[in-house]
């Protein structure tokens, strides 16, 4: 599988990363899925201390400890469970980050994290203190690099200007092209990579997308009503009708942007994982196909707001 450099780091990540949040709470299944991902050439695994109260990190650590030098391990910090474990609060403080990283290292069964990410962020945070925490962890050798997970342009801008982040994880798909205006040019100009999450838009941009549409009737998706969703997705499907799945069209669209290093997709079954692997290994989109996809998006967005 193709590898791309993450920002200005020396981390080479597979164009498909495994979003581990969807692995579930049964250890054997989770470990088997990770093993299968490794067989396909995936080397980038993304988890967070928040997922299943840390259990997800434990499963990832158990599965990857014997392959530690072969993989890029990413996790996140900033959301703090309360004592009852029924909600969490936002805590980007230096004290919490430097304490919580120890717990992540323990659960992941490793002595370093390749990419440590702030799991959110607001402009009201003490951003200088947060950056200081990550920089100190780098100096201590506890983390190799750091990034943020955010879709907020003002937050992204603050970290671009004042930190040494190498990546921003953000929601990006054919149905959500907001990053193209708000973030991608800025990040590209500063040598910072995007890790795209949600590239298949809650499963809508897959071969089983039609089955997912019923769940969006009445509430829609972003600015799309259920009817507009169905129309747009059907038009996307016909851009490459003869040799490509909708899933591959969706993932290849994200990967066509030079700022994107990897698309992180979850998979709860072997069939979903195989579908994602086939999608990133499909032929890249041609410029004319990209233009057609963008024209469909713009036309239907205009119609949605008339």
CB 285, CB 256: distance < 8 Å: yes
Helix then strand then coil, % of the chain, to nearest 5? 45, 20, 35
Q: 160-183 burial, b if ≥16 CB within 10 A, otherwise e?
A: beebbbbbbbbbbbbbbbebeebb
Q: Which of 253, 278, 255, 261 is nearest to 12 (CA)?
A: 261
- Which of the following is catalytic: 51, 116, 221, 224? 51
Burial class of residue 96, CB neighbours in 10 A (0-12, 13-18, 19+): middle
Query: For 112, phi and psi rounded to 5 degrees?
Result: -155, 155
d(CA 6, CA 44): 11
Q: Which of 197, 173, 256 is nearest to 17 (CA)?
A: 197
Alpha helices in the chain (DSSP H): 27-39, 55-64, 94-108, 127-139, 153-162, 178-182, 184-189, 209-213, 226-237, 246-255, 270-280, 287-304
d(CA 245, CA 207): 7
Query: For 70, phi and psi rounded to 5 degrees?
Result: -95, -5
Q: Which of 62, 91, 60 is nearest to 77 (CA)?
A: 91
Q: Is 145 a catalytic residue?
A: no
**HSE-CB for 163 with a 13 A CA cutoff:** 29
What residues are annotated to the active site?
Answer: 51
């Amino acid at each position: 599988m193709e590898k791309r450099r993450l920002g200005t780091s020396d981390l080479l990540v597979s164009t498909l990363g495994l979003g581990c949040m969807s692995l579930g709470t049964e250890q054997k299944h989770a470990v088997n899925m990770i093993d299968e991902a490794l067989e396909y050439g995936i080397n980038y695994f993304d988890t967070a201390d928040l997922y299943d109260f840390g259990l997800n990190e434990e499963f990832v650590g158990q599965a990857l400890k014997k392959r530690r030098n072969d993989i890029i391990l990413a996790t996140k910090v900033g959301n703090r469970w309360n004592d009852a474990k029924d909600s969490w609060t936002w805590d980007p403080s230096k004290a919490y980050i430097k304490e919580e990283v120890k717990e992540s290292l323990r659960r992941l069964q490793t002595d370093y994290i390749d990419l440590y990410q702030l799991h959110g962020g607001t402009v009201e945070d003490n951003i200088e203190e947060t950056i200081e925490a990550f920089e100190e962890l780098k100096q201590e050798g506890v983390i190799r690099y750091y990034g943020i997970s955010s879709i907020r342009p003002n937050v992204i801008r603050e970290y671009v200007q004042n930190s040494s982040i190498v990546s921003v994880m953000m929601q990006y798909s054919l149905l959500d092209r907001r990053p193209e205006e708000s973030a991608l040019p800025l990040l590209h100009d500063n040598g910072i990579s995007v890790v795209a999450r949600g590239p298949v838009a809650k499963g809508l941009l897959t071969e089983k997308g039609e089955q997912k549409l019923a769940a969006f009737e009445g509430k829609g998706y972003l600015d799309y009503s259920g009817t507009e969703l169905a129309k747009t997705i059907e038009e996307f499907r016909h851009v490459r009708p003869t040799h490509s799945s909708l899933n591959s069209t969706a993932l290849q669209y994200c990967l066509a942007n030079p700022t994107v290093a990897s698309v992180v997709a979850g998979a709860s079954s072997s069939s979903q994982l195989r579908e994602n692997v086939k999608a990133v290994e499909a032929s890249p989109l041609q410029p004319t196909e990209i233009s057609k996809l963008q024209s469909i998006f713009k036309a239907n967005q205009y119609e949605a707001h008339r």
